[in-house]
Structure 1
Amino acid sequence: MKLNIVKEDPWLEDYKEEIYQRWIRFQLAKEELVNVEGSLSEFASGHQYFGINFDTRRHGWVYREWAPEADALFLTGDFNGWDRNSHPLERNQWGVWELFLPFEPYKERIIHKSLVKVHVKGGGSSRDRIPAYIRRVVQDEETKDFSGQLWFPDIPFVWTDAHFSPAYTQEGPLIYECHVGMGQEKEGVGTYREFADIIIPKVKNLGYNAIQLMAVMEHPYYGSFGYHVSNFFCPSSRFGTPEDLKYLVNTAHELGLAVIMDVVHSHAVQNVSEGLNEFDGSDHQYFHAGPRGYHEVWDSKLFDYGKWEVKRFLLSSLKYWLQEFHFDGFRFDGVTSMLYFHHGLITFDHFEKYFHKDVDWDAIIYLQLANALIKEVKSSAISIAEEVSGMPGVCRQPDEGGIGFDYRMAMGIPDFYIRMLKEKKDEDWDILEFWKELSDRRYREKTIAYAESHDQALVGDKSIAFWLMDKEMYFHMQVDDKNIVIDRGMALHKLFRLFTSSLGGEGYLNFMGNEFGHPEWIDFPREGNNWSYQYARRQWSLAEDPKLRYQFLLQWDKAMVQLIKKNRVLLAPFAEQLHADPKNKVLIFRRGDLIFAFSFHPESSIPDYKFRAPAMGQYQLVLNSDDREFGGFGRIDSSKTYFTNQNQELSIYMTNRTALVFKRID
């Protein structure tokens, strides 16, 4: 036990014992599981025991369900004419119910695409439910009811990705966050196959090395963005079949892109008919009882991570997605909510708030087990925490006093940019505040930086492009149309992205469409917009139209990503500030082999601007946001080379609202 995070941060000395207990509790929990099941991976094989599986030894189907407080369970479906009484399950001493269906009598009835439910009596009620471990759920177009669907096609999917290796291990994660359903330009729900054939090549062309898929797990309400999950082993059927999702992942791997899944284990939809809520008739089977089991802000149910079968259920879900669909890792949603009894709905202004009475140890243990399992099942897999509180050790290993994630999301960066745009004039921006915000992260805890989140593109908020240019985007984005609002917006949009990717972390993320400044918000079909798909899509044609300026923002993104990859910027040590000039709003720093020079000044362009270089020699300008190919004004000769003077200084033309990147060539 090393407890490195305490050794490296003296402020944590007062909490050394509690951090030590993180490791102790994890070791005890893991040991308990391993002693019973043989390994963590074996424990996380609940989907091979529960649900409906074919038992080759007994030569028939076995359906098992954990429902400890239920009075009776009956399997019902197409196979028995939806009779709710003919096929009862038997209960064992552990609250697990079981039904065996021999192959011969049922081979013509238990078939591919059969619909099933389980009728549960308990808690004074009697309801049709969807089996908890079901692999596929479909919705009836007329009644809108959801049912479980048996899924065992005759021809298995053929994977061709045996030799795939994630490039993020060599380049750092360059993640393109996306939503399959709204990934097409058409007004309708996109499919897994459309996304694979049309969108993934676009991502590959831009240079990203991973995609992060939202809304994969089945969710009854489309407009929830996939965050109110009902069925934790089901790829959403609204986008296609399980084989279609496998086709998407396989296609991405063939093109060299890793596929990260946005996994939601922080809460679950409270719907009784579609989800897990009150499954066995109680309010505390999978979730905490009473108010503790309900998230008032999210209107959803909260898991009881201390329960054996809840841990098995959630961990099995992770293993299932890794093995069955070849995902390359997970971005865990809502980690802050999991860590604290108050769900992070406070201000974190003192170390005391990361420890003691407010911390949910069961949740921390679960996350430690989850991260250990991910590496055990797939060593190259990545785990990312959406964690805003800044809890120490989230991205350190348990034996160092941590929770085990590889990365955390730098959630403060998008909020910072929006705050600057909303609350301050450009001339009042403090470039030292910019530096502090993007460089303020925990020592040796890697972060994924992003300039804007998908939340900022939703109705009720604005993307950075919309904050910068607003309605002018509808009228003045033509190449030959001169407009000062658009000029400012495009310049700053480029600066924010490069500033974020070069300084903000050890990984970079972009939400689809933001790379070219998508002009419209996201609004899913709902009663308030007459169930329209007009805004639940992405207008790729805007960036492909040579008459519009969106193309320049797209080309900038491509050049920026290629630069970051080629020079291994994300793998380089923390940036070194070389020069800060608050008056002229110029900030220059080195990261890896590159020098990044930013001017956020709204007006001042300074010839013969001098700063001390990190070494004597000749430097080449390798990226210039003011180039005309990126929609700039072409004020700087990008072919020029720069030599240090006798004082080891470089002299450059530092134009306003410009980002320049230099590299030493001798």
Structure 2
Amino acid sequence: MAGKRKKSYEIGELDHYLFGQGNHYEIYKKLGAHKVCSGKKTGVYFAVWAPHAKSVTVVGEFNDWDMEANPMERGEPLGIYTCFIPGAQEGEMYKFCIETYSGQYIFKADPYANYAELRPGTASRVADLSDIAWTDELWLKNRAEWDHRKEPMSIYEVHIGSWKRHLGREDEGFYTYREFAKEITKYVKDMGYTHVELMGIAEHPFDGSWGYQVTGYFAPTSRYGTPKDFAWMINYLHKNKVGVILDWVPAHFPRDAHGLADFDGTPTYEYADPKKGEHPDWGTKIFDYGKNEVRNFLISNALFWIEQYHVDGLRVDAVASMLYLDYGKQDGQWTANKYGGNKNLEAIDFFKHLNSVVLGRNPGALMIAEESTAWPKVTGDVEEDGLGFSLKWNMGWMHDFTEYMKLDPLYRKGAHNQMTFAMSYAYSENYILVLSHDEVVHLKCSMINKMPGLGADKYANLKAGYAFMMGHAGKKLLFMGQEFAQLREWSEERELDWYLLAEEEHRQMQNWVRDLLHLYKRNKAMYEMDSSWEGFEWVNADDAQRSIFSFIRHSKDCRKNLLFVCNFTPVEREDYRVGVPKRKQYKLVLNSDESKYGGSGEERPLVYKSVKSECDGRPYSFAYRLPAYGVAVFEF
């Protein structure tokens, strides 16, 4: 006889099958807590995967946290527990009380919860995302036709809680998602950024983790407001033509008692083998990428942010730690794969599955790898044994660049190749050049205080460095505060030192970065052939004695090309001659010697005509007075 027909929100045989196969890409619509109508009753349907639990009940504000009031029914074969609680309301707090086979009772937050209690509380909250009012249809339509390889991307990396704060308030003074949306939109549009990348959005218990130790993967943190406030922020940024990227952490999770660790009294989300399932350096647990339900949890989570919250991309944290079984481990602390090697074969398959599904379902969305090794084909096609990411952070460039910039100019001639080497592999992946939060914490100094010299020399050095970065092949990312030369290292405990903009040298730095960003956005030569050798050409990559770099960025139709000249010493070159490809006029479009950037303000010609005079191996050239630490950009 046929069984009772299940309601659409209930967990059925097909849900069990797809989840067990790792292919239930919208499982977040079934697991977790969802407001529903059952007959004439409204309430909340709860569902949780706890395969090795002896029993599970729901406890919360709706039943006075009574462990016996709302037992859940176990569904086979996967061990998904469900129950309907009439009268439960949106916003009410709850947890799952899990009875383990060892006889313990443990209280866990909902892994699929859409909202959480503000820390230090650890409960989940019922949330209804069904009635969010989106008005960003045009943005999403345009995104589906957008090709990141041919479009500008200048990313402003931001930590909401410390970008700006309401000072003098008794509470922590955090901006809400809505307040932040309005302020950040004005700022990034003025500065010329195309995207913001938000740190620490998924719910996390400890501020000092910056959001990289997550307990609520499906919940935007309650520090700044509700899920609907978060959606309002995304919608507002999109309406103002600003893209949104989130940091996403599938590499590990914390041991907090209410989180995923030993969820049902056994290793549920993590590898059971501690040599595979624990990060000794970080004190965290590692996801079991060989378990279909865990892979499903992570893939559906990535899709959740992009499809439910309209996020434009995910920057995937700590990819290298997932790819290598011995990452951060000593001999004897890790288990080799079946071939005796150190590659995590399950994580490799996970990435291929993840990126194929996310990007296949969402044209124009981005998956960005923070991968710090020379792993091949990170942005290569899955069909050609690549990992399938859209873009990769260029950590090699970042390391070489910062090491060079820290040098006394006297010694830079001996390290000249540190600035040129990245072009030898620039097209092996689709790269983003990054100066991220990681470069301005843990006693690494702020960007301005990495620079050699005193006073004005520091600012001139950094301006030259930023110009080189903006001209170099690759997308761009700057962490907040770097654009106006924040003096102190970043701390999540305070807002940026905006008061520095009362001082001239910090305003001049901000002016310089703003004009570089707008130069980048309005010139196709700077981005449309970022993934092709035809887009970048060295004029002179070998002028080590003078520590001067000159190069050309080409547009596709060659109508508007840009010539960059960057001087990395305090020595002025009265009659610097640069070789050029054609007998043309060269228009000065960016000059670091202008007074608004802290230069001398001396007037100089805006147009330079090349003459037949061999230089840099080219038949034509022109001369230009290149200041100490000077940067000049010419259009031709």
Bin the TM-score by the shorter chain. Answer: 0.7 to 0.9
Q: Does residue 582 of structure 2 align to residue 597 of structure 1?
A: no
Q: Does residue 267 of structure 2 align to residue 283 of structure 1?
A: yes
Q: Which residue of 2 aligns with 1:486?
A: 455
Q: Which residue of 2 aligns with 1:519?
A: 487
Determine if contact 2:400/2:419 at 8 Å carries over to the other structure: no
The alpha carbon displacement at 1:190 in A equals: 2.8
Within the candidate set 546, 554, 569, 2:510 is matched to 554
Q: Which residue of 2 aligns with 1:86?
A: 69
Decide whether aligned partners of structure 1 residues 344 and 236 sit closer, same or farther in structure 2, where only a CA change above 3 A counts: same
Q: Which residue of 2 aligns with 1:578?
A: 539
Identical counterparts, % of pairs: 27
TM-score by length of 2: 0.87
Within the candidate set 84, 100, 106, 2:83 is matched to 100
Q: Which residue of 2 aligns with 1:537?
A: 495
Q: Does residue 439 of structure 2 align to residue 456 of structure 1?
A: yes
Within the candidate set 373, 388, 399, 1:404 is matched to 388
Aligned partners of 1:619 and 1:277: how far apart in 2? 62
Aligned partners of 1:369 and 1:230: how far apart in 2? 23
TM-score by length of 1: 0.83
Q: Which residue of 2 aligns with 1:118?
A: 96
Q: Which residue of 2 aligns with 1:350?
A: none
Q: Does residue 176 of structure 2 align to residue 191 of structure 1?
A: yes
The alpha carbon displacement at 1:112 in A equals: 1.2
The alpha carbon displacement at 1:212 in A equals: 0.5
Aligned partners of 1:197 and 1:86: how far apart in 2? 45
Within the candidate set 38, 48, 51, 2:29 is matched to 48
Q: Which residue of 1 aligns with 2:10?
A: none
The alpha carbon displacement at 1:152 in A equals: 2.3
Q: Does residue 203 of structure 2 align to residue 231 of structure 1?
A: no
Q: Does residue 122 of structure 2 align to residue 146 of structure 1?
A: yes
Letter in 2 for 1:432: H
Decide whether aligned partners of structure 1 residues 644 and 160 sit closer, same or farther in structure 2, where only a CA change above 3 A counts: farther
Determine if contact 1:438/1:500 at 8 Å carries over to the other structure: no
Secondary structure, in 3 states, of the residue corresponding to 2:84? strand
Deviations 1:170-193 (A, max 9, x none): 533111110111111444333212
Aligned partners of 2:563 and 2:161: how far apart in 1? 40
State how 1:365-514 maps to structure 2 within 5 Å.
365-422=349-406, 424-430=407-413, 432-441=416-425, 443-450=427-434, 452-468=435-451, 485-503=454-472, 505-514=473-482
Aligned partners of 1:37 and 1:442: how far apart in 2? 40
Letter in 1 for 2:260: L
| Higher RCO (C-alpha 8 Å, min separation 6) | 1
Decide whether aligned partners of structure 1 residues 62 and 35 sit closer, same or farther in structure 2, where only a CA change above 3 A counts: closer
Further displaced range: 57-66 or 305-314: 57-66
Deviations 1:470-501 (A, max 9, x none): xxxxxxxxxxxxxx722111111111111112
Determine if contact 2:580/2:610 at 8 Å carries over to the other structure: no
Q: Which residue of 2 aligns with 1:663?
A: 635
Deviations 1:271-310 (A, max 9, x none): 122x100111013444443232111112211001111100
Q: Does residue 115 of structure 2 align to residue 136 of structure 1?
A: yes
Determine if contact 1:502/1:570 at 8 Å carries over to the other structure: no
Q: Does residue 611 of structure 2 align to residue 644 of structure 1?
A: yes
Letter in 2 for 1:460: L
Query: What 5-or-longer segments of structure 1 have no aligned partner?
Result: 1-32, 347-352, 470-483, 525-532
What count of residue pairs does the alignment treat as equivalent?
585
State how 1:342-381 maps to structure 2 within 5 Å.
342-343=326-327, 357-381=341-365
Determine if contact 2:585/2:609 at 8 Å carries over to the other structure: yes
Within the candidate set 579, 584, 595, 1:612 is matched to 579
Determine if contact 2:280/2:328 at 8 Å carries over to the other structure: no
Instruction: Give the superposed CA RMSD.
Output: 2.6
Aligned partners of 1:288 and 1:537: how far apart in 2? 41
Aligned partners of 2:553 and 2:263: how far apart in 1? 53
Deviations 1:432-483 (A, max 9, x none): 3133343243534110002x320222242212112237xxxxxxxxxxxxxx
Query: What 5-or-longer segments of structure 2 have no aligned partner?
Result: 1-13, 168-172, 331-336, 555-560, 614-618
Deviations 1:392-427 (A, max 9, x none): 1101111122000111101133333443355x4211
The alpha carbon displacement at 1:609 in A equals: 2.0
Decide whether aligned partners of structure 1 residues 219 and 287 sit closer, same or farther in structure 2, where only a CA change above 3 A counts: farther
Determine if contact 2:56/2:99 at 8 Å carries over to the other structure: yes
Aligned partners of 2:66 and 2:196: how far apart in 1? 44
The alpha carbon displacement at 1:66 in A equals: 1.1
